[in-house]
Amino acid sequence: MACLKMPEINCVHIAGNLTKDPTLRKTASGCLVVNFCIASNTKYRDPNNQWIEDTCYVGVVAWSRLAESCMERLTKGSAVLVTGELQSRVLHSETGFNRTVVEIKAHRIQFLNKSEYNAELEGMDIDELLIKEGVASNEEIAPIEL
């Protein structure tokens, strides 16, 4: 019988909202790491045709520059789309019990909320936007002769 090799796939995509503000730490070597938890909601119909909402809570860890970006842009309630891989670690308690934690090691985090900057720009016409960005208005730009 042929020996089949199991593919080594460990990929997670999940969208949700932060349950509280992220926490930032530094490792002994000075590397930044941020941890936060997201709540991801799913709706489905039960056998009685009633809508049921289920929430899955998942821990996320991000490192280095991604950790910095998270601290700058995320707060409790922020919407994110996380792409990463599952990782597990063992927590040792003072009472001698061990607990295994499974979390997402983030490779990419898409911030889904509008930033303050984008919200400020919303509703501006093109001339206001060009002036804000330091670009001359349309009337001041001379056409290019070919």
CATH number at residue 83: 2.40.50.140
Measured CA to CA, the distance from residue 120 to residue 26 in angstroms comes to 33
Q: Does residue 61 form part of some domain?
A: yes
For residues 59 and 76, what is the distance between their CA atoms, to the nearest angstrom? 14
Residue 48 lies in a domain: yes
Query: How many structural domains comprise the chain?
Result: 1
pTM score above 0.95: no
Tokens encoding 126: 């093109």
Contact yes or no for 77/18 (Cβ under 8 A):
yes
- 90 CB neighbour count, 10 Å cutoff: 8
Residue 22 lies inside a defined structural domain of this protein:
yes
Cβ atoms 70, 46 nearer than 8 A: no
* Residue 101 belongs to some domain of the structure: yes
One pLDDT digit (tens) per residue for the chain, 146 residues: 567 888 889 999 999 999 999 999 999 999 999 999 999 999 999 999 999 999 999 999 999 999 999 999 999 999 999 999 999 999 998 888 999 999 999 999 999 987 655 555 566 655 665 555 444 433 444 444 44
In a domain, 32, yes or no: yes
Residue 106 covered by a domain: yes
Bridge partner list, 32: 26
Structural domain including 17 reads 12-113
Q: Is residue 109 part of a domain?
A: yes
What CA–CA distance (Å, rounded) separates 82 from 73? 14
- Report the alpha-carbon distance of residue 82 to residue 78 in Å, rounded: 12
Assess if residue 96 is contained within a domain. yes
